Structure 1
Amino acid sequence: MLKTFSVEPRTGVRRALHAAKKRNEIMNTSSKQHEPDALLPSEFLTEACGVPAIAYFRAGLPGSPIIVGLPGGGHLARVFYGHPGSSAEDFLDRWLEGHGLGLIALSYPSDHRAFRRRLPNLTVTDWGNAAAATIAEIIRTRGLHGPIVPVGWSMAGRHCRAFNIAARRLGLEIPGFIAVSATPPLPCMVRAKPEGERFTPEGFWKTGNDDAGLSVRNKSFLYDINWRGTEIIDAASYAAYYIVNTPIRLRGEPNQRRGLERNSLVDTISDLGTFSYIEYPFTGVIAPTRTSDARHALTDQATWGFLNSQKLFCEYSAANPMSAPGAWDQLRNLAVQLPSHLCRYVEGGHFFFIGREGAAQTASHIADLCKKLEDLQVTIAQLLRQ
């Protein structure tokens, strides 16, 4: 059962935002993250499977796909819809609306001040189950109809299989997943630090602000957001409205704790379901181009293309023998074409989808890939039926 809570934002938020524009007040802004009034007017708290989330909802055209926005490590789902005082045209939500697509954006439980309970050991499976149950309940209570298409950015690519399994178990129509500069559920793709990751006293992966303001990592992210020369999110607003510390197991990498209980490679593979290819969704890819995000720019098409090929083979293996004339040749051609057929590029780095031009292009690609994924399901069903 989904629980919904309301938290009324204080009138001081606007004053805090104005003050946050002064760089020398970044730390004061960050400290306010411990106040109880954490939600924006457009957000609400939900809970499913014992796991809370911050949710944002905007309806689309009846029957059109509903996009599920899943954020990456260290960030709230506001990366999809913005913060008070920002320009709506700099974020995906405005442009998705232009394509008739609805949006449900979910922020996983973190150390953000909205969450009364702390879940630093939340697993990928836990979050996949909770996110799918949350989406199912929002769809039911609001009388929505149409397929759902998860759009996972960065770390959220790790969650595609877990979400897909849970969503299908709940009867949701999910033609596929869209990876936005996202890492698939394949561990050891991210370089491990010899000294291990940093953790907060509560046990969260320290991806948020450090004691000196914005960390080096987040400063580089901020540069990536604003690279076009226009300041889309200033440093203080980024610190106040977007950054959180993250449950470490959502990252999908083993052995990241020093002096604490460690998650093994076997545990990680089991949680991610790395080799359960039949349980993956078909995935559309939107990748960056800049050297600042070189791994995604160089490997996303091939990496996700590999998983799509494995998924296609599993579907073929599980089906009855093909009897339609030429079906085998069509299936082979489809396998060859899939990596490029389901991949798009947008100029930019890890945050290419933030900023008017990047957001508009990304939304257009999402709308196109939704159609491609739906058509792919029909094509495969036709080729593999008796």
Structure 2
Amino acid sequence: MGTTPTQHDLDGLLPSEFLVEASGVPAIAYVRAGSPGSPTIVGLPGGGHLARVFYGHPGSRAEDFLDYWLEKSGFGLIALSYPSDHRVFRRRLPDLTVTDWGNAAAAITAEIIKTRGLRGPTVPIGWSMAGRAFRAFNVAARSADLDMPGFIALAAFPPMPGMVRVDPKGEPFTVEGFWRTGCDDAGLSARNESFLRDINWGETELIDAAAYAEYYIVNTPIRLRGEPNQRAGLERNSLLDTIADLGTFAYPDYPFTGVIAPTRISDARHALTDQATWGFLNSQKLFSEYSAANSMPALDGAWSQLRELALQLPTRLCRYVEGAHFFFVGRDGAAQTALHIEDLCKQLEDLQVTMARLLAP
């Protein structure tokens, strides 16, 4: 794994970042080790954004970003930006699939954990579109023997198509074939203007328009969006192809997932549905684990406890933070999100212990 970038390539990186590669898929990586034995969080960004949404840009206030608060809790952070049209990437991969990215991100994470001698569990957090890759990442992570009790979704879409509005006329694309989620010739798009208002709501300006354009937004491989029929002539992009790429119905391959959702009406889908949507998938995962045990729980009362656990999961693994799609940016939101991450990491670890006890032969 690895690349040897030229100085021209390095011009697009922050001093804390470096290029990595696995399975032919490059990524921008940021790594900060935590306290020995503490969890290492793996930050995966959403559509049109670099993973800097988790750790900030030059001149920003550290306390406005998750990394600052995760470090206070002793947690490490590996933040990975998927290949986009950012100038640091020498090769363009506009047709990158969710499976490609999930496999590469897991392999990169495993290599960083190994080479840096990091100890403790690994817990990926995925924001927005990154939730599409949870199943693929989980499968690849198991093959790499990562110690991973589960995932945490930050206003994230699961690997289920049909949850994002698809424009009948298709999405806008760059000449290189990327989904146009970055700047256009006129500057910030209406989409990004809306995101910037979301970032800066109720606060002093956290990220100004110039910094947002320079350090955060990029054009995105369209298949990572996890929706079919995004562009006329795009091969392998039917509904069936998308379902196969996402692994939508491969419930045994899903991780148990903690949820942190927003509250504001401007992100109504996540505010209203995340608890139920991820709760459904967690219950399917629980049933898959039960089925794989190949027998009724043997302990007295274990069946009743398993049923009670199934009823509890949607609320036990869900937390809310005041805000909208960028609720985790800004001092208060970042601090609260970090506390919820710490709590959900414990919940996911406890859940693994409980499941092993209840399903013991």
Same fold (TM over 0.5): yes
Q: 1:260 to 1:158 in 2, by over 3 A?
A: closer
The answer to whether residue 350 in structure 2 is matched with residue 351 in structure 1 is no
| Conserved 8 A contact 1:5-1:44 | no
- How far residue 322 of structure 1 moved from its aligned partner, in angstroms, is 1.1
Letter in 1 for 2:342: A
2:300 aligned with 1:325: yes
Q: Is 1:291 the equivalent of 2:291?
A: no
1:337 and 2:312 correspond = yes
Tell me which amino acid in the other structure corresponds to 1:211: D
Q: Distance in 2 between matches of 1:36 and 1:94?
A: 25
Cα–Cα, structure 1 residues 379 and 266, in superposed 2: closer, same or farther, change >3 Å? same
| Cα separation, partners in 2 of 1:169 and 1:242, compared to 1, 3 Å | same
Query: Could you list the per-position Cα deviations for residues 232-274 of structure 1 after superposition, in whole angstroms to 9, with x for gaps in the alignment?
Result: 0001100000000000011110000035446000000000000
**Aligned-residue offset at 1:194:** 1.2
TM-score (norm 1): 0.92
Separation (CA, whole Å) in 1 of partners of 2:285 and 2:267: 27
Deviation at 1:230, TM superposition (A): 1.1
Which of 15, 19, 26 aligns to 1:52? It is 26
Q: CA deviation at 1:7?
A: 6.4
CA distance in structure 1 between the aligned counterparts of 2:7 and 2:303, rounded to whole angstroms: 58
CA distance in 2, matches of 1:6, 1:258: 35
- 1:184-223 matches, within 5 Å, as 184-223=158-197
- Code of the residue aligned with 2:303 in structure 1: it is W
1:85 equivalent in alignment to 2:59: yes
Closer, same or farther in 2 for the Cα pair 1:199/1:337, shift >3 Å? same
RMSD: 1.2
2:254 aligns with: 280
CA distance, structure 1, for counterparts of residue 44 and residue 275 of structure 2: 20
Is residue 76 of structure 1 aligned with residue 88 of structure 2? no
Q: Which residue does 2:222 correspond to in 1?
A: 248
The gaps in structure 2 that reach 5 residues or longer are none
Aligned to 2:120: 146
Cα deviation digits, residues 57-102 of structure 1 (max 9, x gap): 0000111110000000000000000000000000000000011100
Aligned to 1:19: none
Shift of 1:140: 1.1
Q: Distance in 2 between matches of 1:44 and 1:207?
A: 23
Residue 242 of structure 2 aligns with which residue? 268
> Counterpart of 2:117 in 1: which secondary structure?
coil
SS in 1 for 2:43: strand
Q: CA deviation at 1:144?
A: 1.1
AA partner of residue 363 (structure 1): A
| Deviations, residues 278-315 of structure 1 (Å, cap 9, x unaligned) | 10000000000001100000000000000000000111
SS in 2 for 1:224: helix
- Deviation, 1:321, is 2.4
What is aligned with 1:3? 2
Q: Structure 1 CA distance, aligned partners of 2:233 and 2:95?
A: 16
What letter is aligned with 1:365? H
- Opposite residue 111 of structure 2, the aligned amino acid is E
The answer as to whether partners of 1:151 and 1:177 remain within 8 angstroms in 2 is yes
1:125 aligns with 2:104: no
Contact 1:154 1:183 in 2 (8 A): yes
Provide the C-alpha distance between the structure 1 equivalents of 2:236 and 2:102, rounded to a whole number of angstroms: 21
TM-superposed CA distance for 1:229, in Å, is: 3.1
Which amino acid in 2 is paired with 1:368? D
1:309–1:338: 8 Å Cα contact kept in structure 2? yes
**Contact 1:151/1:180 (<8 A) preserved:** yes
Fraction of identical pairs, as percent: 76
Give the distance between the partners of 1:263 and 1:56, measured in 2 at CA: 31
Q: Residue 107 of structure 1 aligns with which residue?
A: 81
Q: Distance in 2 between matches of 1:372 and 1:101?
A: 16
Counterpart CA distance in 2 for 1:7 and 1:71 is: 25
Aligned-pair distance for 1:369? 0.3
* Cα distance change of structure 1 residues 6 and 57 upon mapping to structure 2, 3 Å threshold: farther
Distance in structure 2 (CA, Å) of the matches to 1:7 and 1:55? 16
Shift of 1:6: 5.9
Q: Deviations over 1:102-141 (max 9, x none)?
A: 0000000000000000000100110111111101111111
Specify the alignment match of 1:376 in structure 2.
351
Q: CA deviation at 1:211?
A: 1.6
Q: Secondary structure at the match of 1:3?
A: coil
CA contact (8 A) 1:195 1:258 kept: no
State the distance in 1 between where 2:179 and 2:7 align.
29
- TM (normalized to structure 2)? 0.98
> How far did 1:204 drift?
0.5
The Cα offsets for residues 176-204 of structure 1, whole Å up to 9 and x where unpaired, read as: 00000000001011111011101100000
Could you say what secondary structure the match of 2:80 adopts? strand
